[in-house]
Amino acid sequence: MQPITSLSQLDPNGVYTYADYLQWQLEETVELIKGKIFPISPAPGATHQRISWQLSGMIFNYLKNTNCQAFSAPFDVRLLDGKKSAAANRDIFTVVQPDISIICDATKIDEAGCLGAPDLIVEILSKGNSKNEIKYKFSLYEENGVREYWIVVPYEQFLQQFVLDDNNHYRLHGIYTAEDIISSFIFSDLQIPLQEVFG
């Protein structure tokens, strides 16, 4: 069988699994959301990378003396689309690469990345992000039980913080601008001055 080296060889309306994803030899970076292919925007710009670097550094320093680990993209997070277990790679239809993932359950981490929901995910938007991608990821992270979700909007210099409520639905916990200090909901002593992040 001919190796898959280009998105043009794949059916944009097809449904693919993590097993398929592992076989591809694409130059483009893609994510799978419920079996559908979402190409990742071209390499992020300097502002995106600067924000990612600042946030990652502060988070990594905070986690040094905890049982939690943080990972920056590219790092595959395999989600189970509401299923509680997966027998094989063919049972996984979602693989995403959040900008930052914090994982406190070491059993979810393997050499391929993370299998299951991280505790906290940070996504830094680029102007190339589609509304559909943002909407699907919001629903996906909520459905899979990502306890806290930050959406960073660099070009407007604000951050939205969502937290799962008792009914496993996201509620907006706060909107923070460059003048604010954000405190994580689940890591209450993690405080990040956004002036340093956006500055």
Of the candidates 169, 168, 162, 152, the one whose C-alpha atom is nearest the C-alpha of residue 184 is 162
Q: How far apart are CA 8 and CA 11, in angstroms?
A: 8
For residues 105-120, average pLDDT: 96
* Banded model confidence at residue 142, pLDDT cuts 50, 70, 90: very high
Give the amino acid at 11: D
Q: Give the pLDDT confidence score for residue 128 in this predicted structure.
A: 72
For residues 163-167, average pLDDT: 97
Between 179 and 199, name the one with better pLDDT. 179
Is it the case that residue 161 has pLDDT exceeding 80? yes
Of the candidates 55, 56, 93, 98, the one whose C-alpha atom is nearest the C-alpha of residue 75 is 98
For residues 94-113, average pLDDT: 97
- Check: CB of residue 176 under 8 Å from CB of residue 194: yes
Is it the case that residue 83 has pLDDT exceeding 60? no
For residues 124-145, average pLDDT: 87
Is it the case that residue 85 has pLDDT exceeding 60? no
Domain at 41-198, CATH from 3.90.1570.10, 3.40.640.10, 3.40.50.1980, 3.40.50.1580: 3.90.1570.10
| Mean residue pLDDT across the chain | 92
| 17-28 pLDDT, tens digit each | 999 999 999 988
Domain boundaries, the chain: 7-38, 41-198
* Banded model confidence at residue 160, pLDDT cuts 50, 70, 90: very high
* Banded model confidence at residue 94, pLDDT cuts 50, 70, 90: very high
